Amino acid sequence: MVNPMFHADRAPQRHVEAYQHVPDPQQPHRQDADAYWADKIAEVMRDQFGIKPKVNTYSYRTPYPPAYDLIPLPNRYKVPDFTKFSRQDDTSTMEHVNRFIIQCGEAANRDELRVRLFSSSLFGSTFTWFILLPPN
């Protein structure tokens, strides 16, 4: 007797109905699409196997567009150990930003790289402020 689940000309049919109609996510950003697919995978795990995935308690999201992370750093560029800004001393915001741009060196030529690297120059409450900015 031939097992109906496995046939020489077809792939296994187990749980195929869960994957037959999956709507395409029409989110403009990769993070949104990733969240969409994570939800879909969790739904299949829950419905088909009775498995509940762990809840992600906190996920860091950058306040800048995800495409900024795809821009390569200049060839042989080493990310500097930036002077940290926390507003705990008498350093002005203007002084910090100017020092940051100087420390960026060649990476300062692209706005996207400056934005991406900026969080590395923040500490304490200023870093918290940066990561709590709304996306994009």
For residue 36, the tally of other CB atoms under 10 A from its CB is 15
Tens-digit pLDDT profile for residues 20-47: 555 554 445 555 677 788 788 888 878 8
**72 band by pLDDT with thresholds 50, 70 and 90:** very high
Q: How far is CA 28 from CA 22, 23, 54, in A?
A: 18, 15, 26
The pLDDT > 90 percentage for the chain reads: 43
User: What predicted TM-score, i.e. pTM, was given to this entire model?
Assistant: 0.56
Of 13 and 72, more confident: 72
Q: In sequence order, which residues have a C-beta less than 8 Å from that of residue 12 and are 6 or more positions away?
A: 5, 6
